[in-house]
Chains A and B, each alone.
Chain A
Amino acid sequence: MDTVTPAGAPAETPAEAAGLKAGALGFISSLVIGVASTAPGYSLAASLGLVVAIPGIGLQAPAVLLVAFVPMLLIASAYYYMNRADPDCGTTFSWATRAMGPWAGWIGGWAIIVADVIVMANLAQIAGLYSFLLVGWQSAAASTAAVTIVGVVWIAIMTWICVIGIELSARTQVGLLGAELVTLALFAVIALVKVAAGTAGPNAVSPSLSWLNPLAIDSTSALIGGVLVAIFIYWGWDSTVTVNEESENSSEGPGKAAVLATLILLGIYLIVSVAAQAYNGTQELIDNSDDVLSVLGEQVFGSPLDKILIIAVLTSAAASTQTTILPTTRTSYSMARAKALPESLGAIHPRYLTPHVSTILMGGFSIAWYVGLTLISENILFDSIAALGLMIAFYYGLTGYACTWYYRHELTTSVKNFFFVGVAPTTGGIILTWLFIKSCIDLSKPENSESGSSWFGIGPPLVIGIGFLLFGVVLMVLWRAAGHRDFFQRTQEIAQPGSLEGPPPSHPAETAGVA
């Protein structure tokens, strides 16, 4: 192949060009996967209204978003170091099993599966709602039945896409994410400009730094409730540090990409939440908590352009569905292979090379769960997200503890290790555990819950969250009672001495060779 080079520039050999390209693409891919996995557009659409509506939060919603980031950041350190132990190690199921034994691993894997199935209800709801809003079909958007039908179709299509293994090219993903971020940024900027110019809504409020101050929230319960919803907004961001892909420079790539993803996410969330509540005050958000972005979009952008924001939310939800289905099926697949779940879940499709049985089953459960929740819940969005918050707090916390425990003998080898592998993950775990317990207490009094509704005298999210966890414990015990010693008699492992020193071990994929 001839390469034409500008005069005077040294020619790149094809090998060098490929290497550079792999490195650059690896960084961007890590960044895109990390940011896209948190699905900023969808996350904001689903939760901004909910956070603002919590009694006692009001204008301090941006502060809540800021606070919620702290435990996520600390736990990301756990993900980074567990991944470093063995770049292909996996996620909570493998790590908790390794570090803390099969019982912890099982329940951790279960929590991931439950979290993902629960959130599908929320995703489907938003997808259905915003699909109708996109075409301007208001009556359908207001109809539970119509939205549910579209939601179910959505889950089915996304599941099918995952079974077939359809993937968008890296470039397309970058493009979509870029469009999503630009749309959100534009929304925020235009809204703020209008507020400054006085052409915003009648209840417009000038942004103030106090909105970022968590101490301005009087009630801890309010803060807890807000953070429980808000950790969902950052959920998925850890994939930036677990993706060691094509990057030649595995030890550098994920770290920098993670930092950049952090800044991007924090920035977007803060700016959009500030702009959203500045535009027409908090009551507007509370009244329209189901479709905050579309209502505001209409006012900020004006008639035809507001569809862009709706499209951004929909593409975000689509991306999020995929990044939700994938971890669920991977976890259940791994559990099946480890004999922690029925073997049939460990099948791979001969042509598509995907764990099709797991995927279809998870899709089925998601649909059943979504339809069921639609029938019995008064506020699907809130109930699903708050319950999800409990699950995330549970398994992220578990991951934090597992990391510190696994590396417990390496913690004193250096100050950096002590802080990043010891203090950070454990503190993150403690914060999330406290959040979990306090939320359970608060949610046990239904008058605290968003809708004030109650099931068995307790707030719905608590019933869902604890209910599923207890159900998991029962299943786990039954599974053990049925034998399966291979899995349950696994012993805890501990990090090799010196495993935190030096460069991370090479990606096993690099050594995959001849059959």
Chain B
Amino acid sequence: MAGALLVGYDGTPGAQAAAGEALRLAKPLGVDVVFAFAYWANPGGGEIADMLTALREQGNAVLQEALGLAEQAGVPARAELVEGRPSSGLVDLADEDDAQMIVVGSYGEKPLKGALVGSTAHKLLHLSERPVLVVRA
């Protein structure tokens, strides 16, 4: 549904906080929530089949959790596995779904560490044309 809230979800505390916030906002806005698990493996290393399978398993498990949260909150939701680098993957999915905003969690790391370690929230703030909501764990 257009105008949905897209949550980048990976099961970590930040993502859980983001999910909570999105579910809280969904009702008054009257929109659905889409949980997306974005994953990517460098093709250069070989044995990529096992990596991708493992990542998808992880994604599915984690998304089931998220859907459970949505059910508890009584918010209509759906889950998506996105293959690709998280920041661009979420942006592309948001475009496809015409999402209202992207919601992600943050670890509250220092900005330099976030930039070094590659925090998705960090990148989204610069890449996304749609509003991005960053929720602290």
Where the two chains meet, the residues of A that have a C-beta atom closer than 8 Å to any C-beta of B are 33, 37, 86, 88-91, 93-94, 164-167, 239, 242-245, 323, 326-327, 329-331, 333-334, 337-338, 346, 348, 350-351, 353, 355, 508-509, 512-515
A239 to B46 CA separation, bound complex (whole angstroms): 8
Contacts of B6 in A (CB 8 A): none
Size category of the binding interface on chain B: 20 to 34
Contacts of A94 in B (CB 8 A): 47, 49-50
A88 lies within 8 A of B49 (CB): yes
Task: Give B81 Cβ to nearest chain A Cβ, in Å.
Answer: 5
Contacts of A327 in B (CB 8 A): 45-47
A514 lies within 8 A of B47 (CB): no
Contacts of B60 in A (CB 8 A): 515
B12 lies within 8 A of A515 (CB): no
Contacts of A337 in B (CB 8 A): 50, 54
A330 lies within 8 A of B47 (CB): yes
A33 lies within 8 A of B47 (CB): no
5 shortest A-B CB distances, which residue pairs?
A: A326-B45, A91-B46, A88-B49, A515-B79, A330-B47
A514 lies within 8 A of B55 (CB): no
| 13 contacting pairs across A/B (C-beta < 8 A) | A90-B47, A242-B46, A245-B43, A327-B45, A330-B46, A331-B46, A334-B49, A334-B50, A348-B54, A350-B12, A512-B52, A514-B78, A515-B37
Contacts of B44 in A (CB 8 A): 33, 37, 239, 243, 323, 326
A90 lies within 8 A of B46 (CB): yes
Given contacts A245-B43, A334-B50, contact A348 B78 (CB under 8 A): no
Q: Residue of B at shortest CB range from A239?
A: B44
Q: Residue of A at shortest CB range from B11?
A: A350
A329 to B50 CA separation, bound complex (whole angstroms): 12
A508 lies within 8 A of B52 (CB): yes
A331 to B46 CA separation, bound complex (whole angstroms): 8
Residues 20-64 of chain B, each 1 if its beta carbon lies under 8 Å from chain A, else 0: 000000000000000001011111111111111011101110011
Contacts of B48 in A (CB 8 A): 88, 90, 330
B43 lies within 8 A of A348 (CB): no
A165 lies within 8 A of B49 (CB): no
* B83 contacts the other chain (CB 8 A): yes
Q: Which of B10, B46, B63, B83 contacts A515 (CB 8 A)?
A: B63
Q: Residue of A at shortest CB range from B118?
A: A166
Given contacts A353-B58, A512-B56, contact A334 B12 (CB under 8 A): no
Q: Which of B51, B78, B116, B118 contacts A330 (CB 8 A)?
A: B51
Task: Give B41 Cβ to nearest chain A Cβ, in Å.
Answer: 8
B59 lies within 8 A of A515 (CB): yes
Contacts of B52 in A (CB 8 A): 88, 508-509, 512
Task: Give A374 Cβ to nearest chain B Cβ, in Å.
Answer: 27
Most chain A Cβ neighbours within 10 Å, of B41, B43, B44, B116: B44
A243 to B39 CA separation, bound complex (whole angstroms): 18
Q: Residue of A at shortest CB range from B116?
A: A166
Where the two chains meet, the residues of B that have a C-beta atom closer than 8 Å to any C-beta of A are 10-12, 37, 39-52, 54-56, 58-60, 63-64, 78-81, 83, 116-118
A239 to B44 CA separation, bound complex (whole angstroms): 6
A-B contact count (CB 8 A): 101
Contacts of B50 in A (CB 8 A): 90, 94, 330, 333-334, 337-338
Contacts of A165 in B (CB 8 A): 118
Contacts of A244 in B (CB 8 A): 43
B12 lies within 8 A of A351 (CB): yes
Task: Give B30 Cβ to nearest chain A Cβ, in Å.
Answer: 23
Q: Residue of A at shortest CB range from B50?
A: A334
A9 to B134 CA separation, bound complex (whole angstroms): 41
Task: Supply 8 further A-B pairs (C-beta < 8 A) apart from A331-B47, A512-B81, A515-B59.
Answer: A242-B43, A326-B46, A330-B48, A330-B50, A333-B50, A513-B81, A514-B78, A515-B63
Contacts of A239 in B (CB 8 A): 44, 46
A91 to B43 CA separation, bound complex (whole angstroms): 11
Contacts of B83 in A (CB 8 A): 509, 512
A86 lies within 8 A of B49 (CB): yes
Q: Residue of A at shortest CB range from B35?
A: A515
Most chain A Cβ neighbours within 10 Å, of B45, B52, B83: B45
Contacts of B118 in A (CB 8 A): 164-167
A329 to B56 CA separation, bound complex (whole angstroms): 18
A243 lies within 8 A of B43 (CB): yes
A348 to B53 CA separation, bound complex (whole angstroms): 11
Contacts of A88 in B (CB 8 A): 48-49, 52
Contacts of A348 in B (CB 8 A): 54-55, 58
Contacts of A508 in B (CB 8 A): 49, 52
A323 to B43 CA separation, bound complex (whole angstroms): 11
Contacts of A90 in B (CB 8 A): 46-50
Q: Residue of A at shortest CB range from B129?
A: A1
A331 to B39 CA separation, bound complex (whole angstroms): 19
A431 to B78 CA separation, bound complex (whole angstroms): 55
A108 to B63 CA separation, bound complex (whole angstroms): 36
A504 to B93 CA separation, bound complex (whole angstroms): 28
Q: Residue of B at shortest CB range from A92?
A: B46
Task: Give B129 Cβ to nearest chain A Cβ, in Å.
Answer: 9
B11 lies within 8 A of A329 (CB): no
A326 lies within 8 A of B42 (CB): yes
A346 to B39 CA separation, bound complex (whole angstroms): 17
A411 to B59 CA separation, bound complex (whole angstroms): 40
Task: Give B43 Cβ to nearest chain A Cβ, in Å.
Answer: 5
Contacts of A164 in B (CB 8 A): 117-118
Task: Give B136 Cβ to nearest chain A Cβ, in Å.
Answer: 15
A514 lies within 8 A of B45 (CB): no
Task: Give B117 Cβ to nearest chain A Cβ, in Å.
Answer: 5
Task: Give A282 Cβ to nearest chain B Cβ, in Å.
Answer: 35
Task: Give A114 Cβ to nearest chain B Cβ, in Å.
Answer: 16
A164 to B118 CA separation, bound complex (whole angstroms): 8
